Amino acid sequence: MAVYTEVTDDALAGFLEAYDIGRVVAFRGIAEGVENSNYSLRTTAGDFILTLYEKRVDPAELPWFLGLMEHLAAKSLPCPLPVRARDGRNLNPLAGRIAAITTFLPGIWPRRPTAAHCAPLGAALARLHVAGADYQAERVNALGPAGWRPLLERCGDSADRVEPGLGDALAASLDGILDQWPQSLPRGQIHADLFPDNVFFLDGAISGLIDFYFAATDFFAYDIAVCLNAWCFEADLSFNITKSHALLRGYQSVRPLGAKEGAALPVLSAGAAMRFLLTRLYDWINTPDGALVTRKDPMPYYRRLRFHTQTTSATDYGL
């Protein structure tokens, strides 16, 4: 469910008056996405996506996200281009929210990622990193390593309600990850959430990268680690090295990894598993029964975490 805020036809028509994209032709809520309300919007000028930012997004951060998308789109990355109103603003109020219009991207996200998806994915991720290099603004990754211990502490004893002993196991695992975390690696703008539902494919090629609202300034290789977690495990949670090999090969076809980046893949991957485990755990514990939000089971990320804590080098990822 990704429509939390209803927009009346009058409000929409009024909102569009500030833009040069014609009049409404069609307007439908989009089921995908969990953080914001998304509508597919057709006007007499073409197809767009209308996003209303919901309470989890800090309005003060929106200009950074939209600036990054504009920067990347200008470099021909297939990401949504925020549309500016006649007065130059790309963020405007609608139905009690801040809203933005972005361009529509064709394609389908792969419900069952295969190795054939992973090479173009890796290449697109590297292009994103290269294209973002001269976007000067910096955004701290609130869900990076510095945020994990506070997040675990906020879960408190409730972790053990999900699985007995989970709290202690995570605390120990987190200590190990933070001990080994690299002091420095090549860094810049990362997507930080490039899961399959944020990547559109058309005829085998990538046609869209969406949902930049977790993007931040952090290690490039950490972004790869997020993708290794998101794309390279099978439904039975076994790791598929053919996929990770394809992903890393695709990445390096655009931006070769340094030796330190390769060596850090095990701990970065464990950290990425920890990040999604912790946010899912927190949401699992704090989502009231009967809420309309789909809770995502945290335990598959515990399985991924245990895999990564057993790897020792980039070779284990097919590099």
Q: Point out which residues bind a second copy (CB under 8 A).
A: 1-3, 6-10, 12, 23-32, 40, 42, 104-108, 110-112, 200-203, 289-292, 294
Distance of alpha carbon 173 from alpha carbon 165, whole angstroms: 12
CB of 310 to a second copy, least distance (A): 31
Least distance to a second copy, CB of residue 258, Å: 35
d(C-alpha 108, C-alpha 126), whole Å: 21
Looking at beta carbons only, is 14 or 106 nearer to a second copy?
Answer: 106
Q: Name the amino acid, one letter, at 276.
A: F
126: left (phi over 0), alpha (psi -120 to 50) or beta: alpha
Under 8 Å between Cβ of 194 and 272: no
Tell me, what DSSP letter sits at residue 85? P
* CA distance from start to end of the chain: 38
34 vs 254, beta carbon nearer a second copy? 34
What is the nearest approach in angstroms of a second copy to the Cβ of residue 16?
Answer: 12
For residues 88 and 288, which CB has a smaller minimum distance to a second copy in the complex?
Answer: 288
Closest alpha carbon to 223 in 257, 182, 194: 194
Closer to a second copy by Cβ: residue 30 or 169? 30
Q: Output DSSP code: residue 197.
A: G
* Cβ closest to a second copy, residue 109 vs residue 282: 109
Residue number with CB closer to a second copy (140 or 293): 293
β partners of residue 43: 24, 46
What's the CA gap between 135 and 101, in Å, rounded?
21
State how far the alpha carbon of 236 is from the alpha carbons of 87, 232, 304, in Å: 52, 11, 11
- Listed in sequence order, the residues at least 6 apart from 51 whose beta carbon sits closer than 8 Å to its beta carbon are 36, 37, 38, 39, 99, 100, 101, 102
Question: Looking at beta carbons only, is 7 or 62 nearer to a second copy?
Answer: 7
- Minimum Å gap between C-beta 105 and a second copy is 8
Contact 60, 139 (CB under 8 A): no
3-class DSSP state for residue 159?
Answer: helix
Q: Output the smallest distance, CB 259 to a second copy, in A.
A: 37
